[in-house]
């Protein structure tokens, strides 16, 4: 790592420089967290005070306001992670690979959240915490894929090798997710069909849907904020010998 800091010229790769991206991420993080908190407050208000009680499931259905956004994010984040990992592998941009590493823990967290809230909802509704149903099982497999990615990166000492190996694994995972999903669906299905679809009108009250979408946006915003915050930490750690990090940390008495 060179100790001479060379400022890149504006262009496609402007923010692929650790230094400029660090500053950008620092400016964006508070905004995303603020939006997340604001939307979550609105979403929770709708969830508890506006949305009607479900005719068949009673009050216990309200957990979907956490469960569904978490499940959406868990799947979406894996694709985003694989995308940045692929960009890092193909374009050889280090910040993209760091972005993938920063997204993985949030994705794993969302997967755990979806599984836990799902089982808490399953207990009063199905009478059991866990069933070997297609969607539950494939969500669990998704968690294994996240953990595999994290474990592989943790096992490799050289950061550049960790980036590239993780990228190959994430891409193999992305190719396999649809195969695993449809195999598991063939294997067994109990989970209710999706209630939200783009092609037909949703089978739920519009206030419920509104609350869920607002919560989804809140989760989305939180995930971006958390990933940006984490990528800043990764940047500082990896670039700790670079001139700009030294200049940044020196006034704070850190070296």
Site of interaction with other proteins (CB under 8 A): 141, 144-145, 147-148, 151-152, 155-156, 161, 164-165, 168-169, 171-173, 175-176, 179-180, 183-184, 186-187
- Do the beta carbons of residue 43 and residue 215 sit within 8 Å? yes
Contact 202, 195 (CB under 8 A): yes
| Shortest reach from residue 111's CB to other proteins, in Å | 13
Pick from 160, 47, 52: nearest CA to 98: 160
| Tokens found for residue 198 | 């783009």
* Closer residue to other proteins (CB): 121 or 181: 181
Compute the least distance from the CB of residue 172 to other proteins, in Å: 6
Q: How far is the CB of 75 from other proteins (least distance, A)?
A: 15
Give the three-class secondary structure for 156. Answer: coil
Nearest CA to 103 out of 231, 4, 191, 250 is that of: 231
Least distance in angstroms from the C-beta of 132 to other proteins: 12
Nearer CB in complex with other proteins: 150/209: 150
Which residue lies nearer to other proteins by CB, 173 or 225?
173
C-beta of 12 vs 179, nearer to other proteins: 179
Q: Classify 58 as helix, strand or coil.
A: strand
CA 92 – CA 162 distance, rounded (Å): 13
């Amino acid at each position: 790592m060179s100790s001479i800091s060379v400022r890149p010229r504006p262009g496609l790769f402007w923010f692929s420089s650790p230094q400029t991206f660090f500053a950008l991420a620092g400016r964006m993080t508070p905004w995303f967290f603020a939006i997340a908190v604001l939307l979550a407050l609105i979403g929770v208000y709708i969830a508890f005070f506006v949305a009607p009680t479900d005719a068949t499931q009673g009050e216990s259905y309200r957990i979907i306001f956490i469960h569904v956004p978490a499940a959406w994010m868990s799947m979406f984040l894996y694709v985003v992670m694989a995308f940045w990992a692929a960009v890092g592998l193909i374009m050889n941009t280090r910040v993209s690979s760091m972005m993938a590493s920063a997204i993985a823990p949030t994705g794993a967290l969302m997967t755990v959240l979806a599984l836990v809230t799902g089982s808490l909802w399953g207990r009063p509704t199905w009478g059991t915490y866990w069933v070997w149903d297609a969607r539950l099982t494939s969500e669990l497999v998704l968690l294994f894929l996240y953990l595999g990615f994290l474990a592989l990166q943790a096992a490799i000492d050289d950061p550049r090798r960790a980036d590239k190996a993780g990228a190959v694994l994430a891409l193999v995972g992305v190719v396999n997710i649809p195969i695993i999903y449809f195999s598991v669906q063939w294997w067994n299905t109990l989970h209710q069909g999706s209630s939200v679809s783009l092609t037909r009108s949703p089978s739920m009250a519009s206030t419920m849907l509104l609350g869920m979408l607002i919560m989804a946006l809140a989760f989305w915003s939180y995930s971006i904020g958390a990933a940006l915050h984490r990528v800043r930490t990764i940047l500082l750690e990896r670039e700790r010998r670079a001139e700009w990090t030294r200049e940044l940390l020196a006034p704070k008495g850190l070296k």
